[in-house]
């Protein structure tokens, strides 16, 4: 009789555990991993700026940085690490607004991650601080299994919209450029219709002097010659990034225009290198050169660990001063 009672109790416990696991998987996507979802599933076909991050390419570095910070053992990080995180920009010159989608292809626990990020509105406030604009008051939304995103928008200044139309005119929608999903990060700018210029120019502070090379009136001379811009990056150890640049110039231009584009890109990257060195103590080495109607560049960013110390201190490491 006692044995039979034990079997009944054990059966009840098994059913309870199975029910709890089913609930955890249905409610929080905690057990079965989601499938990889292509970036195109998150993107409007008109998105002309696409930033893609694949965290698993930096798994050991991320694990070290989050050890002691994230709840639970750091060994569980690969179990919950998103497949992909990205930012998509779809500017509308008529409405003078840049529509933004910040997304993640989550592996597991998408709803739980969304709830954690939305707690107190801190994540939404941080995104607003970094990217500006207005973001969905509901915060991060966990949609189907593997999909989490937050949508927002930033205004396009009237002078930037006017400059874009002046240089590019009206261009019919083009076949969207896709990310390769092969690198730690990849930034793709589709400048064929000029709308990506409106995104880049919108990042320039309005008070920037017109004489500065990053002022929209100066920057347009560089970007108007470019059809597509693709920058990829991968870690070299834990202290450096290998960067590869591929630029396709507009087909109606000449090779001398490609030479000019290469010269301007080298000027901009030299200034960027000085700024990074002064602000963070990192160094940017390398250059780009024309190859027919293309410009190819290879760079090394050294001191990435210093940037991480600034933005994401490792456990046990003193905060950056």
DSSP secondary structure string for all residues of 136-152 = -TT--EE-STTEEEEEE
C-alpha torsion angle, residues 304, 305, 311, 313 (rounded to 10): 170
| Among candidate residues 18, 42, 47, 20, the one with its CA nearest the CA of residue 146 | 42
| pLDDT on residue 100 | 94
Quick check: 108 and 79 in contact, CB under 8 A? yes
| pLDDT on residue 21 | 45
| Among candidate residues 268, 295, 296, the one with its CA nearest the CA of residue 284 | 268
CA distance 186 to 201: 20
Q: What is the pLDDT along the chain (321 residues), one digit of tens a residue?
A: 556 656 555 555 555 555 544 444 444 455 566 788 888 888 777 899 999 999 988 877 777 766 655 555 556 677 788 999 999 999 999 999 999 999 999 988 778 888 888 888 888 888 888 888 899 988 888 888 888 899 999 999 999 999 999 999 876 667 788 888 899 999 999 999 999 999 999 988 888 898 888 889 989 988 999 999 999 999 998 889 999 999 999 999 999 999 999 999 999 899 889 988 998 889 999 999 999 999 999 999 998 888 777 666 554 444 444
| pLDDT on residue 162 | 93
Within 13 A of 98's CA, how many CA atoms are on the CB side? 27
| pLDDT on residue 58 | 84
CA distance 281 to 301: 11
DSSP reduced 3-state for 158: helix
CA distance 194 to 175: 14
Quick check: 264 and 278 in contact, CB under 8 A? no
| pLDDT on residue 12 | 58
Residue for token digits 């919950």? 80
* Spacing of C-alpha 122 from chain mean position: 19
| pLDDT on residue 146 | 85
Quick check: 65 and 308 in contact, CB under 8 A? yes
């Amino acid at each position: 009789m006692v044995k039979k009672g034990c079997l009944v109790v054990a059966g009840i416990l098994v059913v309870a555990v199975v029910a709890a696991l089913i609930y955890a998987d249905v409610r929080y996507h905690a057990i079965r991993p989601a499938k990889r979802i292509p970036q195109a599933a998150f993107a409007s076909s008109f998105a002309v700026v696409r930033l893609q991050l694949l965290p698993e390419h930096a798994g050991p570095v991320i694990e070290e940085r989050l050890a002691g910070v994230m709840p639970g053992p750091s060994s569980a990080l690969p179990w919950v690490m998103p497949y992909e995180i990205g930012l998509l920009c779809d500017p509308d010159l008529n409405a003078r607004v840049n529509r933004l989608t910040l997304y993640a292809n989550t592996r597991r626990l998408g709803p739980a991650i969304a709830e954690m990020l939305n707690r107190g509105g801190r994540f939404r406030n941080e995104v607003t601080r970094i990217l500006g604009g207005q973001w969905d008051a509901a915060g991060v939304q966990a949609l189907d299994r593997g999909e989490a995103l937050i949508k927002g928008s930033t205004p396009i200044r009237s002078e930037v919209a006017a400059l874009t139309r002046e240089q590019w005119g009206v261009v019919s929608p083009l076949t969207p450029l896709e990310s390769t999903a092969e690198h730690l990060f990849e930034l793709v700018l589709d400048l064929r219709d000029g709308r990506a210029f409106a995104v880049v120019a919108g990042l320039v502070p309005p008070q920037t002097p017109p004489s500065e090379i990053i002022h929209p009136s100066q920057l347009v001379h560089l970007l108007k010659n470019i059809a597509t811009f693709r920058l990829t990056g991968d870690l070299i150890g834990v202290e450096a990034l290998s960067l590869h640049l591929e630029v396709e110039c507009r087909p109606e231009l000449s090779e001398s225009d490609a030479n000019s584009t290469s010269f301007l890109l080298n000027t901009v990257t030299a200034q960027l290198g000085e700024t990074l060195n002064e602000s963070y103590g990192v160094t940017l080495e390398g250059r780009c050169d024309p190859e027919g109607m293309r410009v190819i560049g290879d760079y090394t960013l050294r001191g990435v660990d210093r940037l991480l110390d600034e933005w994401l201190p490792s456990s046990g490491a003193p905060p950056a001063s």
